[in-house]
Amino acid sequence: MKKIVALMLAGLMVIPAVFAAKKTNSTTVGVSMPTKDLQRWNQDGANMKLELEKAGYTVDLQFANNDVAVQISQIENMITKGDKVLVIAPIDGSSLKSVLDKARKKKIQVISYDRLIMNSKAVSYYATFDNYKVGTFQGNFLVDKLDLKNRTSANPATIEFFAGDPGDNNAGFFFNGAFDVLKPYIDKGVVVVPSGQTTFAQVATLMWSSETAQSRMENLIASQGYGPKGKKLDAVCASNDSTALGVVNALVGANYTADNIPFVTGQDCDLPNVKNMLKGLQSMSVFKDTRTLAVKVVGMVDAIMQGKKPEINDTTTYNNNSQNPKDSKSFIPSYLCDPVITTSANYKSVLIDSGYYKESELR
């Protein structure tokens, strides 16, 4: 009799564990990424899926081919299927209000990933890097390389700017971070921008397209007469690696080489750009380890599923205009990861030793 009771008790102890496992494994997290066409989004999606599955979640990962209508449709399907949490990197941060209103009505929590979703009360949390700092890294890099602190207006440095997509809220933070660093030198005449294109609207690059950036750089080369034997161009402040790639392609096409190419900034440490750094064709890139970001998002999902508050470290920077702009509720609780400046001098410690790339991939 004692043996039977013991077996029954053991069975009762197993049942909750089984149900708990089933509950965890049946919890689906929807992950919406903008596109597979850029290396970084492939890596973001893969890292997110890996970490969420390690934590016991089912992952509904979708890529939207940089098509807003496709992303909206994919998110609608996630809501219909009953995904418990949505992690969304928006193509256009202002385009998702209507579909996310449906998520809010169903009490589905939304985490805005890397790019901030605008004008939506459905956004509970934001996970990203310190995007303004990314821009300041690029600006300060050029201050050092161009010796702007010791330079005078008698020998100004010449710079052109390339920003990102207007639909990406982060693009403004990147540009403003760099421009705020360089503006005092522009005001003193220590830095000149021969094209006169110094506003975000003038230098924005639709969809962060390498081809668009290359075309614009080619037009600047033609209109300004830049070239190794032409007008001096000291630097191009490009907000990310896809725009930097287009810029470098245009400069190489104009006969610049590693010996005379202007300083070119970037961001993301995309494989072609790291190779260009090693060839001396790109000066730096800001590394944002998306593996770290994925881990932080999994922590947010876990906290949400347990009814707890996720870890955050910023409540005053990112306003998504979902309420009165001065209302504190418009500021989304965020976790900001730290970016790292990467050059040909430290790429091994940052990218190889960390396991982000293999040395063989850079050959």
Check residue 14 and give its pLDDT.
41
| For range 149-163, the mean pLDDT | 97
Q: How far apart are CA 305 and CA 356, in angstroms?
A: 30
Contact 274, 281 (CB under 8 A): no
Give 186: exposed, middle or buried? Use CB within 10 Å, 0-12, 13-18, 19+.
middle
Q: What is the pTM of this model?
A: 0.85
Per-residue model confidence as pLDDT tens digits over 266-305: 999 999 999 999 999 999 999 999 899 999 999 999 999 9
Burial 129-142 (b: 16+ CB within 10 A, else e): bbbbbbbbbbbbbb
| For range 147-164, the mean pLDDT | 98
Check residue 329 and give its pLDDT.
66
Check residue 189 and give its pLDDT.
98
Contact 57, 26 (CB under 8 A): no
Residue 343 has pLDDT above 90, yes or no: yes
Per-residue model confidence as pLDDT tens digits over 57-75: 999 999 999 999 999 999 9
Check residue 38 and give its pLDDT.
80
User: Tokens 């400069």 correspond to what residue?
Assistant: 251
Contact 193, 159 (CB under 8 A): yes
Lowest mean pLDDT among 16-30, 53-67, 265-279, 325-339: 16-30
Lowest mean pLDDT among 16-30, 76-90, 123-137, 216-230: 16-30
Secondary structure class of 312 (helix, strand, coil): coil
| For range 354-360, the mean pLDDT | 95
Ramachandran region of residue 318, left (φ > 0), alpha (ψ -120 to 50) or beta? beta
324 falls in which pLDDT band (50, 70, 90)? low
Residues with Cβ < 8 Å from 11, sequence gap 6 or more?
none
Lowest mean pLDDT among 201-215, 311-325, 345-359: 311-325
